[in-house]
Amino acid sequence: MGSGAVGSYYGARLARSGCDVVFLLRSDWEVVMRRGFSIEEQTEESFQIYPVRGYRRTEEMGTCDLVIIALKATSREALRQLLPPLLGPETAVVALQNGLGNEEWLARGFPNRAILGGIVFACLTRTGPGKVKNTGFGKIELGSHRGSDTALLQDVAALFERAEVPCAVVASLEAARWRKLAWNIPFNGISVAAGGCDVGEILRDSELRRLTVGLMEEIAAVAARHELPLPEGWIERMMADTARMGPYRPSSLLDFLAGRAIEVEAIWGEPLRRAQRAGVLTPRLQTIYALLRALDRRANTPQGITPS
Amino acid sequence: MGSGAVGSYYGARLARSGCDVVFLLRSDWEVVMRRGFSIEEQTEESFQIYPVRGYRRTEEMGTCDLVIIALKATSREALRQLLPPLLGPETAVVALQNGLGNEEWLARGFPNRAILGGIVFACLTRTGPGKVKNTGFGKIELGSHRGSDTALLQDVAALFERAEVPCAVVASLEAARWRKLAWNIPFNGISVAAGGCDVGEILRDSELRRLTVGLMEEIAAVAARHELPLPEGWIERMMADTARMGPYRPSSLLDFLAGRAIEVEAIWGEPLRRAQRAGVLTPRLQTIYALLRALDRRANTPQGITPS
């Protein structure tokens, strides 16, 4: 579900490896049906997928063995209608999304069902309808929301591995989510709040770099308080990995520049609320959350500068 | 010096009260010479000043008894050239500016001279060349940089009082600067970083409001560490005063929206450096400083989105 960078990339990889992939393509249906998917790789061969089994509405798709949700966390309301037609009695769901609360929301709305979460460590950019550029990494971490589903996790991981996507099954999905948040919270947030910086510019600016590390330390403290500590040296490793990404623009920045809503609550709001409930002070996170929430609201306020 | 909101307003008030005021008008000279100053008051009578003794260059103005600097702190380099022609042996200087470091800079460049600082508590908006609207307050606090100059301070305060500008002489100019910073740091900063919010919108947004108070508490801690504590109840009083300002836009927001540089170092950078030297943690201030510095730089980078 979803033909943004994540859905197109992993869907195309799975299709190429022989999976029977059915795509929900809302805005891009016409172009993708005519031209297929075009995946540009950096370190391996680029490839096309054509023809594509694409649909505009989930009602036309039939039930699936596995539903991969690659819509933004901001699309939850739409999901409520989109998801049910795809669900047979045994259908499992993978939330390939950023932020916190996605699996909880799915588990509440669709109980007694295997809900997995996937965390993407990749630099994927949608460069046009059906076109995705992968400029680094590509790994997925996969975990189960309810903490069981061991066989299913192995099966899904095997599908990704067969599609040449490195995929690790993690014991704690929540711990993996915090590890990824330690990247998304600073880089996605600063890229938007600082007026459109790519990650290279953030790292080159001494004050933005200091802010990045400060935010990561706050996330590390919250994760540790939840007994899900970040691995030793994680912050240094993320900074080093990011330095190899060049002028990469996080997805929130691309969304913001394109006038789309950003995942304010999933990436910043929910982690902040968990920090507050756990009694951990996160002043930088509160600052960036407050600013992004206002920026997002104002960007989606038609009259422009001031609604007052 | 300067025909922004502050220079035009106080210069016009002093001229009306009988002072011999000579104005440096760089961009607005033609309009002001033709139409004079037009001051719109809220609670008292609006008034015009015409004709105006205005000049485009300080070389034409002659030396003065008192120079009132109403240029932004970002104009320091220009001041280096602009100020000397106005200075006779006994000329005193008043920095009617925001932020920290203005008087220090003047004292270094123009030693053995009385340097006063003035702090404006007013809601002044320049609505056009020579046109200023005062929507609240109007008070000035006046102090001496070197801590002496008692008779001079009384004389200058008397000039302002005669011009119907409430003017208080303060024992510690630095303490007064921190009191004002406790307003400028949150409201000027958030108004820009949150994408163009007026103070009313900041107060109505629960997270921006919480950030405002958090920033004020950081400033209070830094001021207290310097043994210049904010008065009891100051934060509550500023919040209450601000609630009466309505949809007021701080000067930094007007500058930013007009493509002018904002006073990043005087209002946020210098206070942050003093906090760091004093060993006071100010994570919200560092966050907002880092973001504003990047926003300001990017706004003044011709190629737009990304220089990398």
Q: Peptide bond before B231: cis, by omega within 30 degrees of 0? A: no
B290 vs A contacts (CB less than 8 Å): 190, 194, 205, 207-208, 210-211
**Domain check: are A20 and A59 in the same one?**
yes
Beta bridge partners of B126: B132
Among the listed residues A72, A131, A133, A180, the single catalytic one is A180
> Under a CB-based contact definition with an 8 Å cutoff, are residues B174 and B228 in contact?
yes
Domain membership of residue B11 (yes or no) is yes
Nearest CA in chain A to B207: A290
**Structural domain that includes position A294:** 175-299
Q: Do A298 and B194 touch (CB under 8 A)?
A: yes
pLDDT value at A282 more than 70: yes
**Domain check: are B110 and B157 in the same one?**
yes
Name the amino acid, one letter, at B214: G
Determine which of A169-173, A290-294, B135-139, B273-277 has the lowest per-residue pLDDT on average: B135-139
* Band of residue A241 on the pLDDT scale cut at 50, 70, 90: very high
Compute the average pLDDT of residues B227-240: 97
A293 vs B contacts (CB less than 8 Å): 205, 207
Nearest to B306 among A201, A205, A293 (CB): A201
**What local confidence, expressed as pLDDT, does residue A302 receive?**
54
Q: Which token pair is A79?
A: 């999901």
Domain membership of residue B308 (yes or no) is no
Contacts 24+ apart (CB under 8 A), A210-213: A210/B286, A210/B290, A211/A186, A211/A284, A211/B286, A211/B287, A211/B290, A211/B291, A212/A186, A212/A187, A212/A239, A213/A186, A213/A239
A201 vs B contacts (CB less than 8 Å): 294, 306-308
Give the ranges where chain B is alpha helix by DSSP (H): 5-16, 29-35, 76-82, 102-109, 150-162, 173-193, 199-204, 206-225, 234-243, 251-257, 264, 270-277, 283-299
**What local confidence, expressed as pLDDT, does residue A296 receive?**
97
Domain membership of residue B282 (yes or no) is yes
Domain membership of residue B305 (yes or no) is no
Euclidean distance between CA atoms A263 and A3, whole angstroms: 17
Q: Do B211 and A284 touch (CB under 8 A)?
A: no
User: What total number of domains does chain A contain?
Assistant: 2
Question: What percentage of chain A exceeds 70 in pLDDT?
Answer: 97
Neighbouring C-beta atoms of residue A3, cutoff 10 Å = 28
Nearest to B207 among A196, A289, A299 (CB): A289
**Domain check: are A167 and A191 in the same one?**
no
Residues of B serving a catalytic function are: 180
More confident: A148 or A68: A68
**Domain check: are B9 and B117 in the same one?**
yes
Query: What value, to the nearest 5°, has the Cα angle with vertex B64 and ends B58 and B68?
Result: 75
> Of A171, A187, A208, which closes a domain?
A171
pLDDT value at B255 more than 80: yes
Q: Can you give the length of chain B in residues? A: 308
**Domain check: are B162 and B79 in the same one?**
yes
Determine which of A2-6, A46-50, A285-289 has the lowest per-residue pLDDT on average: A2-6
pLDDT value at A41 more than 50: yes
**Domain check: are B209 and B158 in the same one?**
no
pLDDT value at B302 more than 90: no
Compute the average pLDDT of residues A54-79: 95
Q: Do B211 and A257 touch (CB under 8 A)?
A: no
Nearest CA in chain A to B198: A306
To test the contact with chain B by mutation, choose from A191, A201, A207, A272 the residue with the greatest count of B C-beta atoms within 10 A, namely A207
**Domain check: are B166 and B112 in the same one?**
yes
**Domain check: are A157 and A199 in the same one?**
no
> Under a CB-based contact definition with an 8 Å cutoff, are residues B52 and B36 in contact?
yes
B196 vs A contacts (CB less than 8 Å): 298, 305-306
Q: Do A294 and B194 touch (CB under 8 A)?
A: yes
Domain membership of residue A307 (yes or no) is no
**Domain check: are A234 and A197 in the same one?**
yes
Using left for φ > 0, alpha for ψ between -120 and 50, and beta otherwise, residue A248 falls in: beta
**Domain check: are A94 and A13 in the same one?**
yes
pLDDT value at B107 more than 90: yes
Nearest to B286 among A193, A195, A210 (CB): A210
Taking all residues of chain A, what is their mean pLDDT, rounded to a whole number?
Answer: 94
Domain membership of residue B304 (yes or no) is no
> Under a CB-based contact definition with an 8 Å cutoff, are residues A294 and B194 in contact?
yes
Domain membership of residue B184 (yes or no) is yes
Q: Do A198 and B307 touch (CB under 8 A)?
A: no
To test the contact with chain B by mutation, choose from A204, A217, A291 the residue with the greatest count of B C-beta atoms within 10 A, namely A291
Give the ranges where chain A is alpha helix by DSSP (H): 5-16, 29-35, 76-82, 102-109, 150-162, 173-193, 199-204, 206-225, 234-243, 251-257, 270-277, 283-299
User: Which residues, in sequence order, are CB contacts of A68 under 8 Å at separation 6+?
Assistant: A1, A7, A10, A11, A94, A96, A118
Query: Which CATH number characterizes residue B238's domain?
Result: 1.10.1040.10
Neighbouring C-beta atoms of residue B45, cutoff 10 Å = 6
Nearest CA in chain B to A249: B306
* Band of residue B268 on the pLDDT scale cut at 50, 70, 90: very high
DSSP letter at B99 equals: S
Q: How far is CA A227 from CA A18, A178, A266, in A?
A: 40, 11, 20
**What local confidence, expressed as pLDDT, does residue A308 receive?**
34
**What local confidence, expressed as pLDDT, does residue B52 receive?**
97
pLDDT value at B304 more than 90: no
Taking all residues of chain B, what is their mean pLDDT, rounded to a whole number?
Answer: 94
What is the ipTM metric for this complex?
Answer: 0.91
pLDDT value at A287 more than 90: yes
Q: Which of B276, B193, B206, B218 is nearest to A281 (CA)?
A: B218
Question: What percentage of chain B exceeds 70 in pLDDT?
Answer: 97
Asked about A180 being catalytic, the answer comes back as yes
Query: Which CATH number characterizes residue B19's domain?
Result: 3.40.50.720
**What local confidence, expressed as pLDDT, does residue B66 receive?**
98
pLDDT value at A240 more than 80: yes
Give pLDDT tens digits for A80-106.
999 999 999 999 999 999 999 999 999
B287 vs A contacts (CB less than 8 Å): 211, 214, 283-284, 287-288
> Of B171, B188, B216, which closes a domain?
B171
> Under a CB-based contact definition with an 8 Å cutoff, are residues A21 and A53 in contact?
yes
Question: What percentage of chain A exceeds 90 in pLDDT?
Answer: 91
**Domain check: are B194 and B158 in the same one?**
no
pLDDT value at B205 more than 80: yes
Cα-flanking dihedrals φ and ψ of residue B25, to 5°?
-125, 105
> Of A127, A147, A171, which closes a domain?
A171
Give pLDDT tens digits for B43-95.
889 999 999 999 999 999 999 999 999 999 999 989 999 999 999 999 999 99
Nearest to A298 among B196, B204, B284 (CB): B196
Euclidean distance between CA atoms B37 and B117, whole angstroms: 24
Domain membership of residue A44 (yes or no) is yes
> Under a CB-based contact definition with an 8 Å cutoff, are residues A100 and A5 in contact?
no
DSSP B81-93: HHSGGGEEEEEEE
**Domain check: are A64 and A155 in the same one?**
yes
- DSSP, collapsed to helix, strand or coil, labels residue B169 as strand
Q: Can you give the length of chain A in residues? A: 308
pLDDT value at A200 more than 90: yes
* Band of residue A305 on the pLDDT scale cut at 50, 70, 90: very low
pTM for the full predicted model: 0.92
